Every structure is written in C-alpha cells, then in structure tokens.
Structure 1
Amino acid sequence: MSSIVIDSITATGSTLECDVRPSKDLERFFSGEPFRVEYDRSIEDVPEGILAIPALANVCPLAWASGADVYVDEVDGRFAHALEDVKASLLSMHDFLEGGTLYARETTDAEPPAVESSAERDHGRSTDADSALLFTGGVDSTCSYVRHREESPTLVSIRGWTITTDRADDEKWNDLRERVSTFADERGLETAFLESNVLSAIDHPMVLAHYKRFVDGAWYSSVGHGLGLLGLCAPMAYARGISELYVGATHWEGVDLEWGSRPDIDDYVRWSGTRCHHDAYGLTRQERLDVIADYVESDAPTLDLQTCNVRMDGNCGRCEKCYRTAVGLRLSGLEPTAHGYPFDETEYDRIRRTLEGGEWELGEDERYMWADIRDRVRETTPESAAERAFFEWLVDADLEELVSEAEPPLSDRLLRAGARNVPTRLYNAAYPAVKSARTGLERVRSAR
C-alpha cells in the first residue's frame, strides 16, 4: 500500500523541520532531504498539531495523486477536517487524483495565546494586527491590502516557490523583502517572512514528469499552491495570534481553469485559531486595478506595483505581464510610468506585433486576462491615435489564436516519459542539470 509518513517534527528557535518517509513506490517523488521552513520569530511554543500543518499541506496533494495514505503522530483537528474539504474540491477538479486517507494517532485543538505585536513592543502603539495577507506587491495582493487596510494586516511573503531557496535567488529575495518592508513601514504594518525548501524536499521535476500531462501549467500552480502556501503560514499564524489569513485571488467568477488557489480550496483551509480567505474573487483583474486607482487617488499617489516575470527589483517593462499591467493601469486612469512601468505610446504597436508573432508563451490564463482588458476597452475612449489603433485591433483580435496550444518540445516530452519509466537513481544521475532548468522554467510559468 502506498504511504507517506511525516515524523520527527522539531521546532528549534525559528526553524521547523521534519522527515518525510515515503513507501518504496513513491521514493522518486522526494529528494530525501528533510522538509524545512524558516520563520522570522520563534515557533518553539507552537503545539505539534500545528507544526505538522506545513508538511501535510504540501505532501497530501501529492499523496492524493498516487492514492497514498499519510501518517502523522499528531495533527490539529480543524486542519484535518479542512484537508477533507480541500481533497473533495481537488478531486472534483482533477480526474487523475485518486485520494487517500490521513491517519493521526492524536487530533488536537489548540487556541493560540494572546500575543503582543512587535509594533506594540517596539513603538508603544496599539494595533489590531490579528489578520494577515500573503503579499508580493502585485495587483492581486495590493488590491486585497486596500480592501482590508482598516485591519492593518501583517504582510506575509514566502520564499520557496517563484523565488527559490537557491543562492542564485538570494538577490531576488532581498529585493522582495526590501520592497515589502518599505511598503509596510510607510503604513505602520508588521511583516512576516518565511523560507521553505518545499519544492526541493519534494522532487518537483519528477512530479512534473509524471503529472505535467494532466495539468495546464505546473503541478504547484495547478494543484498545490493554495493549500500549500497557506499551510506554510500555520506556525507563524499561531505564534502571532493571527485569526484571519487572506490570499488575493488570481482569477474571478467566470474563469473556468484548473488552478490550485480558488474559493473552493482556500476558503476551506483552517486550523485552531485561524481561518483562511480567498479574497476579491468577485472582482476581475481590471476591477482590482480600479480599486488600486481609487486608493492611489485618495491615499498613495506614488504607489509602485511589482508584477514583472523577469525582475524583482522593479519591472522590466518589456515582458507580457508588464505590458498587460501597464495597459490595465491606463484603462483604470493611471499613468504606468508613475507606478513602476516604463511605457509610452510606441509600446502599443510592439504589444500587437509581439502578440501576433507568438513571441510570448501564453496559455488560457493569459487569454482570460486579455479578454478582461478587451471588455474594458469597449467602454473606453482612446487618448491617442496609437492607443486607438491598438484598441481597435484588440476588439477584433481572435484571442484563441494568440494563445499557444503547442505541445512541449520533444526533448521535454522524452525527458518526462523517461523519468516515468527509468529507475530513480538513474534518472537522478543522468538529468540533474536538466531537472534544475526545467524547475526554473516551471516556476516562471507558475508565476503568470
């Protein structure tokens, strides 16, 4: 019987670590290194039932793909129930998932202690920071901040998915930390920074080799990241007394995509003392930019957004996501150059040529995003001849043709087919460099 055992859970200072022991048939999906999360304050007083959540949240979806059972000594009872709800949603979304059962020797319920915030300790001022928000400074998380700013949410940033724990990504992580810290300091907010080796403890390239054919995008984006990222926050939320945890929606009502973060996943995630919320699902991306535009006008005239797929120290202004955001800002009445995006009238022609030339690798996700922009274009009066020409083209463009439907390169398909069939030790010996490259590519695509 396929199984995964999570044990030897320890909390030393701010570091959580545990062992993940799969049955023989599942060993290829794990690197053998302990699962680890580094927080920015001590978690030694967090109960073991809460400490088990980060690993369970990331391992269980993979177990469900294999029909495997998961074993742990102790787990928070509310989270155990949440896993059943999330499992039902994921199984209804993905036909290839088989399910599995979580077995715990003990289920517990632990209310978090009253916690004095660091802002109160350091500055002697009262805060109501009992909510938190996953935050990158992009459109979705900034919109969620604006919607919940009266709660003064703690801003939570996570390293381990789009920014890897490889040393090569140190600079990106430092850039993100500095930007989020500055945003928080200007608003009197607390921050929380987490780092996890989740996508190296789990052999993500091997997971892709087996399951990429079933998902649009990558495993973590299509299946695991809503439950996984929220679960990483559990010890932090307990230690800080966080009762409400928000994650900004990527999509909106009417977008029919298999995506790992949706209301029927995130809204089910909970543990003792904390409930999670999939926020702003009722707003399209353009409507979220409208929310931000109102905030810019009333409170934050110099606000910068960060959405680039290439850089973390600003926006390149040339990638598809930068252009898409710049056009969206224009449609919401903001000047892109005032909010982090180099942009002028000549860019409209380049966007059209690049889209028509298929230079960007686009998927269904981007089709919905550009369709949302097109809907707003139909209600907008162009400000220049260049803008008018682009808007007229976009209204008539066949977005289905602009979306890449091509098969992955033959080399990718052969690699994944080989990985599914060769012994794990041979695969790991033959393809380490390719694995690293593929993982980087999938993380970039996951960040779309």
Structure 2
Amino acid sequence: MIRKNIVLKNTEVILDDSKVVFHQETSFLIKPYFREDLFINYDIDLSEVPISILNIPFVANIYPMCWFLGATLKVKTLDKNFFESIEIVKQEFAKFYPEILFRNSKLIVEQLDEIQYTPKNKAMLFSGGVDALYTYSRLDNKDVQLITMHGADIDIQNVAQWEKIKNITKSLELTKNNPNYFIKSNVRRFYRSKVEKLIYNNNQDWWTLIQHGLSLTSLIAPVAYKNGIGEVFIGSTLDAKNELFPWGSSYIDNYITWASTQVIHHGQESNRFNKMKILCDYFDEINLPTPFRVCYHNQNTKLNCSMCAKCYRAIVTLIVLGKDPREYGFEIETMHGSVEKFYDNLLIFIKGNVFNQAVYFYWLEIVEKMNEKNNIAFIFSDEVLEIKKYHKLKELLNKLKIDKSNKKKDFKEKIGVLRTKYYNTLNKYLK
C-alpha cells in the first residue's frame, strides 16, 4: 500500500515579522492538493510562545483534509488538550460525513505538552458583520479582545481593502475602547481547488463546509497564550433549526479547546433577521448607530458594495424593520428616480439568484416578517412608488417560496439525499 503522509518538518518562527511558516513534507499522492506552505502573521511577540501552541493552527487546517484523504499527519509537538479535542471534533463531523471513519486517517504526535495559563481574559472573532456585532452586544463586552482576520473573507492579496477594514475597525465608535488584534494568513490559498473534490456532492466549498470554524478559532491560539484568554467566542452563522446539514462553523466549535482556552459558538438562539432587529434596538438603546460590514465582494472598494447578495439581504432586512439602511453602512441613491432603480435592480437580482442559493432561507425569514399585518417599511423619499415596489418584492418572494417548496429535486440533489439516508443508517450501527 502506498503511504499517504503529511509531515510537519519545521515550524519556522520569524520573530522580526511575528510570522510562523509551517514547512511540510508531503507524499507524492497528496502533493497536488497543496499550493504552498501555510503561514500566519501576528501582531504580538512570538518569542515565548511554545511550539506546541504555534502548531495548533497547522493541525486544525491540515488534519481535516487527512480525514477525507485517509492520510496520516505527523507533528513533533502539540498541546495535549487540542490533540484530544480535535479527535472529538472529527467524531462530530463524522455524523455528517461517516465515510471519514473508514479512511484510516491518523494524527501522530511525538510529544504532547500540557500547557496551562491563568484564563483571565476573553476574546472574540470580530468582522464587523451581523453575527460578530450580535455576539459583541450580548457579552459583557467592556474588556473583550477583538480579533480580525485577513485571508478569510478578504483575500490575502487584497491589501487595499484590508487596510481600509483595519482602519474602520480601529475607529469604530462602538468598540473604540476594546483591544484589537489583527492576524493575516493564507488559510484559504495554501491548498488547491482539488481539495473541493474531497467532499462528495459538494454544493458549497471546503471553507464553508469543513474548514472555517476550526481554522479561524485555532489561529487565535498564540494570542490566547500570550494574553491569558480563557474563552474565545465565534458568532454563529446559522440558528439552531438550520443545523440540519453540514456546516464548517456550528455547535462543533464548542468542542474546540487548547491549553486553558475554550471556544464558544455563540448566537444560535437567534436567526439572522432577529439578530439585526436586536442589534438595531441595541444601537438605539445606547444611542450609537453602527455600520454593518456584511460585504465581501471581490470588487468592493467601500465598506459595503450595496448591490451583492449579502448587501441586498441586509438592506431589505433594514427596510422591513423600518430602518434607513444609509445609517448602517449602505449607500442608496434617492435622487432622480434612483430609489425606483434600486428596487428594480433588486427584483431582477432576486429572480435570477435568490432561490438558487444554498442560503435562500435567509430570504424566507425576511418574507415572513414582510407578511405580518403590522409591518411598516422604511420609506426613502417617494411613499407611493416605494410601497408599490415593496409589495412587488413581497409578492415575488412569496411566489418563489412556493416555487421552491414545489420544485422537484434535480438528479444531483437526489443522489445527495440517498447518500445522506445511507450514511445516517450506517451511523446508527456505529454508535
């Protein structure tokens, strides 16, 4: 049998740049899955951080690939708590992907270190988006440390956009007294698109379905060691009722631990629409309107482009809530018929895109609120025109809601359903 091994040969720490580079040696069968070595840039002094802590992000990003490849990952040293927790995470992912239990993947560590520190602080992943702001608003947030990533949602090569986001994050009135930390990594570029094929019937991407919860939280490990962080919060993408399908950041995050740190997946009690409502009420309560950063469009040069899927959802949600989207980081022209043009473009977008998206249920949350009798939409300038357009929007979403529920699944979806039933049955016998 040809061996499938990935060996971490050297964890290079470049102190002048606060940079860690993981040099790996890979079997020739697995080499085509990788583009370059994984690296991470921090804005803290790394000189006293143990290698067993620095290695956590490498294992978190590589080992899940081994689950599907049937490969062995070899590392010289690793924190003992993380070693144990990632095996639990593997078992949780196996509930969605039982095939990984038969691929004979292994994590071999020469030396497990029991690292401990006094857990005196807490931190959270902070993007400035709805989920992050919701988590921030629910915490005792006075001293929480905010950690923002470059290379996750903003492409690592998009330096201009990153610098803009850093400046906005630092100057945000809501969080101006919170410590900010910034991490840069090629977590989404060190592997090739071939990795996407590891997931049968992949209707999203590796990052969304497998990687991002483990990846984003594990990158914080050296900061947690330096700052004595006991809890790391990551805002939920989905509410609990939508946790019925695989997702790379969900309740599974709660099993991630290292040293004296526990990861907490926060906010599943509320869906996206309700989060925005609660946030708007919160901003009103503290008298501090705060912009949402929801846009990651690769052509965006502003806080939000105001014309992509995420922007449209946020804008419509605010309109349904009776709020002016312009007060929350979005740009809507109101002169010379521009509002009519905005609604027309929105209707075209929904017809062509919304119910082809895997997250169409976000729009279902919106239309449910639109259907309520006491709903009063925000009016920009022309009440008669905008109410007419608003009702067209509501009619379209209700129609698409019906069409979606009646539409027959295509062949690929049928195969996916059969596969899920097969593995669910298999899973019962494995318990």
TM-score range, shorter chain: 0.7 to 0.9
Report what 2:160 is aligned to.
171
Q: After superposition, what is the alpha-carbon deviation per residue over 1:143-165, rounded to whole angstroms, capped at 9, x for unaligned?
A: 11111143531111111222222
Question: Does structure 1 conserve the Cα–Cα contact (< 8 Å) formed by 2:321 and 2:376?
Answer: no
Report what 1:40 is aligned to.
43
Question: Does structure 2 conserve the Cα–Cα contact (< 8 Å) formed by 1:4 and 1:69?
Answer: yes
Report what 1:187 is aligned to.
176
Out of 45, 63, 66, the residue aligned to residue 63 of structure 1 is 66
Out of 288, 301, 307, the residue aligned to residue 318 of structure 1 is 307
Out of 21, 24, 47, the residue aligned to residue 20 of structure 1 is 24
Say if 2:345 is the partner of 1:350: yes
Give the Cα separation in 2 of the matches to 1:387 and 1:185.
32
Give the Cα separation in 2 of the matches to 1:250 and 1:400.
25
Alpha-carbon offset, residue 315 of structure 1: 1.5
Question: Does structure 1 conserve the Cα–Cα contact (< 8 Å) formed by 2:34 and 2:190?
Answer: yes
Aligned residue identity for 1:261: S
Say if 2:125 is the partner of 1:134: yes
Aligned residue identity for 2:367: R
What is the number of residues matched between the two proteins? 386
Alpha-carbon offset, residue 350 of structure 1: 3.1
Report what 1:375 is aligned to.
368
Question: Does structure 2 conserve the Cα–Cα contact (< 8 Å) formed by 1:40 and 1:194?
Answer: yes
Give the Cα separation in 1 of the matches to 2:202 and 2:168.
33
Identity %: 24
Alpha-carbon offset, residue 113 of structure 1: 5.9
Give the Cα separation in 2 of the matches to 1:294 and 1:329.
12
Alpha-carbon offset, residue 179 of structure 1: 1.4
Q: After superposition, what is the alpha-carbon deviation per residue over 1:59-80, rounded to whole angstroms, capped at 9, x for unaligned?
A: 0111111111211111111101
Query: What is the TM-score normalised by the length of structure 2?
Result: 0.83
Structure 1 unaligned regions, length at least 5: 115-127, 409-448
- Aligned counterparts, 1:318-337, within 5 A: 318-337=307-326
**Do the aligned partners of residues 397 and 262 (structure 1) sit closer, same or farther apart at CA in structure 2, a change above 3 Å counting?**
same
Say if 2:272 is the partner of 1:279: no
- Aligned counterparts, 1:30-429, within 5 A: 30-31=34-35, 33-97=36-100, 98=103, 100-112=105-117, 130-166=121-157, 169-183=158-172, 186-203=175-192, 205-208=193-196, 210-211=197-198, 214-255=201-242, 256-263=244-251, 265-310=252-297, 311=300, 313-343=302-332, 346=340, 347-356=342-351, 358-359=352-353, 362-365=356-359, 367-379=360-372, 380-383=374-377, 384-398=387-401, 401=404
Alpha-carbon offset, residue 359 of structure 1: 4.9
Give the Cα separation in 1 of the matches to 2:306 and 2:330.
5
Alpha-carbon offset, residue 333 of structure 1: 3.6
Report what 1:10 is aligned to.
12
Instruction: State the 4+ residue runs in structure 1 displaced beyond 4 angstroms.
Output: 399-408
Query: What is the TM-score normalised by the length of structure 1?
Result: 0.80
Question: Does structure 2 conserve the Cα–Cα contact (< 8 Å) formed by 1:216 and 1:258?
Answer: no
Give the Cα separation in 1 of the matches to 2:189 and 2:398.
44
SS, match of residue 163 in structure 1: coil
Give the Cα separation in 2 of the matches to 1:337 and 1:185.
17
Aligned residue identity for 1:108: D
**Do the aligned partners of residues 362 and 212 (structure 1) sit closer, same or farther apart at CA in structure 2, a change above 3 Å counting?**
farther
Larger displacement relative to structure 2 (328-337 or 56-65): 328-337
Aligned residue identity for 2:302: D
Question: Does structure 2 conserve the Cα–Cα contact (< 8 Å) formed by 1:79 and 1:272?
Answer: yes
**Do the aligned partners of residues 276 and 391 (structure 1) sit closer, same or farther apart at CA in structure 2, a change above 3 Å counting?**
same
**Do the aligned partners of residues 364 and 165 (structure 1) sit closer, same or farther apart at CA in structure 2, a change above 3 Å counting?**
closer
Give the Cα separation in 1 of the matches to 2:402 and 2:122.
39
Give the Cα separation in 1 of the matches to 2:401 and 2:22.
50
Aligned residue identity for 1:155: L
Q: After superposition, what is the alpha-carbon deviation per residue over 1:23-66, rounded to whole angstroms, capped at 9, x for unaligned?
A: 221111123x4321110011121112111101000001111111
Aligned residue identity for 1:238: Y
Report what 1:438 is aligned to.
none
Give the Cα separation in 2 of the matches to 1:185 and 1:390.
33
Give the Cα separation in 1 of the matches to 2:213 and 2:97.
15
Give the Cα separation in 1 of the matches to 2:63 and 2:44.
26
Aligned residue identity for 1:190: P
Question: Does structure 2 conserve the Cα–Cα contact (< 8 Å) formed by 1:134 and 1:248?
Answer: yes
Give the Cα separation in 2 of the matches to 1:359 and 1:243.
42
Question: Does structure 2 conserve the Cα–Cα contact (< 8 Å) formed by 1:306 and 1:312?
Answer: no
Aligned residue identity for 1:182: S
SS, match of residue 152 in structure 2: coil
Give the Cα separation in 2 of the matches to 1:189 and 1:289.
22
Alpha-carbon offset, residue 348 of structure 1: 3.5
Larger displacement relative to structure 2 (185-194 or 73-82): 185-194
The CA RMSD over aligned residues, in Å, is 2.6
**Do the aligned partners of residues 231 and 375 (structure 1) sit closer, same or farther apart at CA in structure 2, a change above 3 Å counting?**
same
**Do the aligned partners of residues 157 and 300 (structure 1) sit closer, same or farther apart at CA in structure 2, a change above 3 Å counting?**
farther
Alpha-carbon offset, residue 194 of structure 1: 0.6
**Do the aligned partners of residues 184 and 69 (structure 1) sit closer, same or farther apart at CA in structure 2, a change above 3 Å counting?**
farther
